[in-house]
Amino acid sequence: MPIGTKRTGMVFLRDFDEGVVRTMGSELINIEKDDEVVQDYAILIEGVNGPDEYGGAIPVIWQNPEDVYQEGLIPHIAVARTSITPAMGRWFPGGREYMVRSSVATDKKVAATGQTIPSHVEIKRWAYPYDIAYEIHLRAKLRWQADKMLRHVGRKFWAYGQIFLTDSEGDSRGYFAFQESVDALDEVTDIADRMIGWTISLRCQGELDFNDPYIVPTSQNVDVNVSSQASRTEVG
């Protein structure tokens, strides 16, 4: 494999979490909490007025244990990551995403060919493929509000769709995402205290980078004539 010129970024769970939220149309807005201005994700949905604290936008929250301190404002959208399953059908053992000149490398000349190669290269292994499951809970007080929220979010996450995110190199990526089901989310204790909604179950064909790129020296006897022996550009 020849020495390349471009690195590929890394992705992990937070990147996919933010990708789900941003793909549905959410944006960071400034709100006031505890007498200070902070940023929260929120989404504007035509015909549905969110809490006054969010200027009419609908708050998007994470439904995780550490979020119990977040106010339960209605309407809202809560995103929960429910499972992370290895996708062995998409796994390619061995190989690498890239091999590029290292930032610490110097030039050296190979006596056998007279060509100049870097003294060190940086290598990144393939990310591990995973199916990442999410549940998107749409909660409102009235049925028509919940239905409008479902219509807006559901068009983003149809049976065949994509989640868009940004990797560590700042490059945009798209990953296939599939709607598994849409289920009713109704909690009615009495007519004055009820919550109506929907849950969209989503499966994203993602990948997770568990291994950092690493730097190794090139072999002294490496042959960089890639047209005749590309495989010998492997490091020693």
Question: pLDDT confidence of 181, banded at 50, 70, 90?
Answer: very high
Position 117 confidence tier, pLDDT thresholds 50, 70, 90: confident
3-state secondary structure string, 97-140? CEEEECCCCCEEECCCCCCEEECEEEEECCCEEEEEEEEEEEEE
| Contact call for residues 198 and 45 (beta carbons, < 8 A) | no
Residue 47 has pLDDT above 50, yes or no: yes
| Domain span including residue 12 | 1-236
pTM: 0.81
Looking at the structure of the chain, the number of domains it has is 1
Q: Among residues 191, 192, 182, which one has the least CA distance to residue 146? A: 182
Residue 222 has pLDDT above 70, yes or no: no
Tell me, what's the pLDDT at 93? 82
Q: Give the CATH number, domain containing residue 126.
A: 3.30.2000
Beta-bridge mates of residue 136: 79, 200
- Segment 114-123 shows an average pLDDT of 79
Please say whether the beta carbons of 87 and 205 come within 8 A.
yes
Section 97-106 average pLDDT: 81
